[in-house]
Each structure stands twice: as structure tokens, then as C-alpha cells.
Amino acid sequence: MIQVAVTDLEYRKAQKVFTAAANDGLHCLSAPPGEDELAAFIRQVGVRYAVIGVEPYRGPVYDSLPRGGVLARFGVGHDGVDKSLATGRGIICTNTPGALDDSVAEHAINLLLAAARHTVTVAAGVKTGQWTPIVGRELADKTLAVIGCGPIGRRVAQIAAFGLRMKVVGCEVVDVNHEAMEREFGFAHVTKEFAEAVADADFVSLHIPSVTATRYFMNRDRFARMPAKAWLINTARGAIVDERALYEAIVAGLIAGAALDVFEREPYVPVDPDKDLRGLKNVIMTPHVGSSTQEACDRMARQALANIQAAITGRYDDMNVLNPQVLTALGGT
């Protein structure tokens, strides 16, 4: 039986899948998520394969895994994984693309609906004895700007356009097939220019990766380009939004509000204690639950384990490898 370390939160999210992996020769063990503790666990148990969550791993874990080991990300975003360091140690890094697209897209729409109808505020009011209806907005014919037209952004557009009858404008830096984007996903228009995409937006939904070039993508300048009526929706990554600039934009009335599932620091801690987003009534905050549906968690677990099984048998072409350079050194393609 091959042992696999699975960080505790991820293990609990898909425990049935990880337990059932024993039928395929994998004994999945719940492991601590903190890097020092995880590294110690890996050494103590002697595992070659580890499934990890969203926490950043910057050093000890790469020293603990043997050459040819796998660090399998339970999810898509991999900004917490040091691919360069892993490559130097001969460790294969993988993720689970596609496994969470529907769940994250649905949560983006959930946040959009909550913003439009003030759901969080009125629901909390009823529970405290208040009965103060707030007039909301219908979404039909409203404009949604989708920033980043990858799989999740396209799914959000599809739901908004075909399900809610919204006008959807996309912003994507690479060339796209405009006819296909309109026919299959409901985009009215796709542009490479942020200012053009958000010019008349009622909602702006972010679906771009967190890389060096996108850090603080949403900054003072881009907030200033959004209409005052617009809400920002972020289910992508916290680091793409300058939270200080967001706070200032909301307080100044440059934008209407924000619905956020991801933050620069998680669990949320304000970057600036004087600009705590929790104190603003027109900010909706959820604890990074976009991909936390049972269906998505099960898919991510199965895909992470499939990557490990492929590594065990040397089927590198069947893996979702994040650092393909390492395969050459390991004798792969």
C-alpha cells in the first residue's frame, strides 16, 4: 500500500474519496497543513506523495519529499506552490484544472445575486427582529463585465447571459473567436481593454490568475474607471485586488460595493487596520468557499489522486503537470 499525505482540510472535504483510494492501493493519511509540520510528517511517515490545499509552501516541504515525489494541488490556483524550487528538487507539481469550474462560477453568480438584492443585509436584519425591506435591482438587461474569459469566466458569462438575460462584456488579453464566444457563452462583446469592458458595467467579475503581472490588478486607476453603480465580484484570488484601494473606492463612492470570496490574507485580516472591509455595509464577504461544493471537492480529490497514480506508473503525459521542466530530469517527456 502506497501512503499519501493529504492536508487535513482537504482530507475532510473529500474523505470518502480519499478513504476509497485504498481500493486502488493508496493509503491516504490526514496530515497537518502548516509547512513545517507537514514537512515533519512527510519525513516521519516516509511518503513520496502529498496532496495540499491553498496554503503557501515556500521551503521545507520541498526538502522533505524525495526526488520523483509529487506535490498535488487540491484545486487550480497554484500561486502557493514554488514550481522553481520543486523543479530543482526533482518534485513534480500538479493541479486539478476543470474540477471546480462550475462551483466557482455558480458562487460568482451567487454573490452577484446577493449584491443585487441586498440578501446578506436583509437576512441578517430579520434574524435580529428587523423588518426593513431594501429595494434591489433586477438583473435582466444589466451589464456584467467578465474580466478573464477562461473556463470559469466563460461559465459565468453563460449563466448570466442565457439564464439571467444580462448583457455580458468580456475582457481577455489573448485573441478569441468572437463568434464562438457569442454563440456558446453569450458574450455580447469581448475586448482586450479593461476600460472598455467596464465602461457601462453594473457588475465586474474577476476571473484572472494570481501571478506577478496581475498582483493588484484592481488598483486605484482601475477602480476609477468603473462606473459608480458597479459592484466588484472576486472569486479568483485575493492578491489581484489592492484591498486598500478597494476600501477607498467604496468609501469615496467610486464604486457601489464589493462581494468577495478571496482575500490577500486568509483567514481575512485587513492589510491596513484603518481600512477594514468588514466595517463597510456594502461589502459581502465569504470565506473562500467558491470551490467548496461536495461535487467539486470529490472531483478535485479524484483528479489529484489520478495525478499521483500516473506518476507512480510513469505516465507523465496523463498528469496535470505545473512544472514540465522537471520531467526531463526524471526521464519523462
Active site residues: 237, 266, 288
CA 195 to chain CA centroid, nearest Å? 24
Alpha-carbon gap, residue 72 to 301, rounded angstroms: 10
C-alpha cell at 70: 509529487
Residues composing the chain:
333
- 247: helix, strand or coil: helix
Strand-pairing partners, residue 52, are 73
C-alpha cell at 156: 459565468
In what helix (H) or strand (E) does residue 197 lie, and over which residues does it extend? Answer: helix 194-198
Any residues with CB less than 8 A from the CB of 2 and at least 6 apart, and which?
25, 26, 27, 48, 49, 312
C-alpha cell at 248: 477607498
